[in-house]
Amino acid sequence: MADFKTLTPQDFKSDQEVKWCPGCGDHAILSSVQKALPEVSEALKYTKERYVFVSGIGCSSRFPYYMNTYGFHGIHGRASAIATGIKVANPTLSVWQITGDGDALAIGGNHFIHAVRRNIDINILLFNNEIYGLTKGQYSPTSKLGSITKTSPFGTVEHPFRPGELVIGAQGKFFARSIDVEVKLTSEILVEAAKHDGTSVVEILQNCVIFNDHTHGNITDREFRDDRVIVLHHGEKMVFGKQRDKGLVLDGQGLRLKVVTIGQDGYTLDDLLVHDETNPNPGLHMMLVNMEYPEYPVALGVIRMVKDSTYDDNVRDQVIEVQRNAKIHNMDELLHSGETWEVE
């Protein structure tokens, strides 16, 4: 391991020309990652050679080529499996999977939920633009019902996945959400994701300027963003709005969230919920990840971060435990174990 030195975003830029379309949300996400990694390195004392970026297929999956780290550009949908193999083979590596809504939730859906279920210590950045970009504009598993695309000229007739709901349904322990252009928020979240032991899923609402422009526009446009999103911070009141006058409470029976305005209907700041990202009970987190505009603000920030044992640690611990009491230490001993007999 090299001596630890302070890294800068520049250290993570590769010599490859970035080929995403001008105006694509991926550019901002790349900046966020390159901004976050020096902080991660500082916080966790990681040297540059410990980072591995893994991807599948799709626009977002070109990402590893633009990072001056170890990188593996896999095949469609399989990045979670490849990343899992890398982490188990060498748990000292910091493994980052870059994926899109098609790669992770359609062709790779199975690998995605099983990575989450195993809670292997990898960071999954899910770029959600609700469209297939690289194949030029077909609907994806997150496209809104009724979306008009090349393969749904009369509108889609299928219900979309909500990634956060899927993650929590698969027993996910870490889920966060950001918006591509929110570089500061995204990089803050990425630092938290890296620090978290276990599978960290970060959904980034990303704009495909060519095939699905403004798909998230009704919540991400600057003029009304503050009123339509809520950025959650652990231990803080769930407040939002340009005037910071709106917030979330549980309704009378505690079964659903309700948006209230401070000073109306008798609500005060004290009545608002306090965000607890560490609550193992997924009930409230599920409600938060499923909030959709216009009924609710869309939740951003770290929504769920619960400690639990990780797959890679469990693998390592089991090997250590078995080896402690092992009677067989090498191949020759294995060959001679069990029943054998001599021929004189």
Partner 1 sequence: MDQKVSRVEMEEVVIRFSGDSGDGMQLTGTLFSDTSALLGNGVSTFPDYPSEIRAPQGTVGGVSGFQVHFGSKKINTPGDFCDVLVAMNPAALKANWMWVKKGGTIILDADTFNEKGLVRAGYETLDPVAELNLDDFHLIFANITTLTKESLKESEMDNKSIVRCKNMFTLGMVYNMFDRPMLHTEEYLVKKFAKKPGLAAANMKVLKDGYNYAGNIQAMPNRFRVEPATRDKGTYRNVNGNTATAWGLIAAAEKAGLPLFCGSYPITPATEILVELAKRKDLGVKTLQAEDEIAGICTSIGAAFAGNFAVTSTSGPGLSLKSEAIGLAVMAELPLVVVDVQRGGPSTGLPTKTEQSDLLQALWGRNGECPMAVVAASTPSNCFDYAFMAGKLSIEHMTPVMLLTDGFISNGSQPWKIPSMSSYPAITPPVVPVGTADYYPYKRNPETLARGWALPGTPGLEHRIGGLEKDALKGSVSHNPMNHQVMVETRANKVERMQNYIPEQDVIGDTEGDLLVIGWGGTYGHLVSAVNLLRAEGKKVSLCHIHYINPLPKNLGDIFKSYKKLVVCELNMGQMANYLRMSYQKFDYKQMNKVQGLPFTVAELTDKFNEILEGK
> Which chain residues interact with partner 1 by CB under 8 A?
1-2, 14, 16, 47-50, 52-55, 57, 64-65, 67-75, 78, 80-90, 92-93, 110-111, 114, 315, 318-319, 322-323, 326-332, 334-336, 338-344
Least spacing, CB of residue 116 vs partner 1, in Å? 11
- Rounded to 10 deg, the angle between the 79-89 and 109-118 helix axes is 30
**Helix, strand or coil, per DSSP, at residue 331:** helix
**Helix, strand or coil, per DSSP, at residue 328:** coil
Residue nearer to partner 1 on the CB measure, 84 or 186:
84
Contacts of 313 (CB under 8 A, 6+ apart): 91, 121, 197
| Closest residue by Cα to residue 134 from 29, 211, 73, 217 | 211
Give the DSSP per-residue string, 98-154: EEEHHIIIIITHHHHHHHHHHT-SEEEEEEE-SSBTTTTSB--TTSPTT--BTTBTT
Least spacing, CB of residue 308 vs partner 1, in Å? 19
Residue nearer to partner 1 on the CB measure, 36 or 230:
36
Least spacing, CB of residue 196 vs partner 1, in Å? 21
Residue nearer to partner 1 on the CB measure, 243 or 323:
323
Least spacing, CB of residue 11 vs partner 1, in Å? 10
Least spacing, CB of residue 336 vs partner 1, in Å? 6
Residue nearer to partner 1 on the CB measure, 222 or 336:
336
Residue nearer to partner 1 on the CB measure, 69 or 215:
69
- The answer to whether 131 and 140 have CB atoms below 8 angstroms apart is yes
Instruction: Name the residue with tokens 């890296």.
Output: 194
How many of the other CB atoms lie within 10 Å of CB of 243?
A: 11
Residue nearer to partner 1 on the CB measure, 73 or 233:
73
| Closest residue by Cα to residue 127 from 58, 201, 204 | 204
Least spacing, CB of residue 71 vs partner 1, in Å? 4
